[in-house]
Copies of this chain bind each other. A is one copy, B any other.
Amino acid sequence: MSIVLESTVEELLRRFARGDRRACGQVISLVEDEAAEAKPILNKLYPLMGRAYRVGVTGPPGAGKSTLVEKLARHLREYDYRVGIVAVDPSSPFSGGAVLGDRVRMAALFTDPGVYIRSMATRGSLGGLARRTREVCDILDAFGCDYILIETVGVGQMELDIAEAADSTVVVLVPESGDSIQALKAGLMEIGEIFCVNKCDREGADRMVLEIQTMLELRPKNDSWIPPVVKTAAISGLGIEELYERISAHRRYLETSSILEERRRRAVRTEIERRLSEKLQSWLWRRDGFKERVEELVEAVMTRRVSPYEAVDLLFKERGFDE
């Protein structure tokens, strides 16, 4: 990504403020690419953020999340809400287009200017995906979205991190033997605030609702919210309205109990801590001779003359940090 001139950034932000979708896409790309312009742009947009309500939708592959998100978005559009959709695919970079296929189909469905869709695939590293997801949501928030729907495949730790970016987390399961056990294994039972048994026309839907409710009773209670279990058939649109009502009820619960504010405060604190740590590290590594000294110590550890723990203690003392 080439350096964009300052005047160009301002022009970009002017177009962004006018609601230009291409400008929004460009801003997202700059932030995703960690371009030099990302920080000043996010700084400028910061006062505009914090208005959108963020809904995470997660679940195992094949649960019908994309269709559900699409139908939920259409439903939100009936109330004239502006909707952002962030589809996160933490799959391998060389899986390429195939896996993203259904999302591309979803994108093709929307020519509605009140809906903004962004697909995020990992490009090599998974590490920064959760952070980038949060930043993309922030930008869509500043862009004026009332609701942001974040779709992730619920199979591992990554999704738990991404779910942290959401205000309400919807876990989507299908009536299939073993699906609820897999959900349990993947940690989904802990993060769900609303559960959705999708494809509920299939056999075993009611049994699955019961299974989920039983598992939820075993869950340690942190607050007074009891996660509801909604039956949906996303393809026909069945249950979408109830799902929306449950999300709204959860939102009211979070807002009136001030949990929403507390969560956002915690997110700010985490964000500051993380950025501070990054900045501190990069500062240290820029010190004269530091890299070279670390390489010396790496060799000393390789030949087992010192342990990694001793090496770190040594580096710390040499740089004048008192214990």
Binding site for B on A (CB under 8 A): 39, 42-43, 46-47, 49-50, 61, 90-92, 94-95, 99, 126, 153, 155-160, 181-182, 184-187, 189-190, 218-220, 261, 264-265, 268-269, 271-273, 275-277, 279-281, 283-284, 294, 297-298, 301-302, 304, 307-312, 315-316, 321, 323
Q: How far is the CA of A281 from the CA of B281 in the complex (A)?
A: 9
In the complex, which of the residues B94, B301, B308 contacts A218, with contact meaning CB atoms closer than 8 Å?
B94
Q: Which residues of B contact A181 (CB under 8 A)?
A: 99
Are A190 and B94 closer than 8 Å at their CB atoms?
Answer: yes
**Copies of this chain:** 2
Bound together, the chains give a CA A265 to CA B308 distance in angstroms of: 11
- On chain B, the residues within 8 Å of A264 by CB distance are 302
Contacts A/B (CB < 8 Å), 13 sampled: A43-B310, A46-B304, A46-B308, A95-B184, A126-B160, A156-B159, A156-B186, A157-B158, A271-B308, A272-B294, A272-B301, A275-B309, A276-B281
A317 → chain B, closest Cβ, in Å?
A: 11
Contact residue among B39, B190, B275, B311 (Cβ-Cβ distance under 8 Å from A272): B311
User: Given that A269-B294, A272-B301, A275-B308 are known contacts, is A283 also in contact with B185, CB under 8 Å in the complex?
Assistant: no
Q: Is A91 a contact of B156 with CB atoms below 8 Å?
A: no
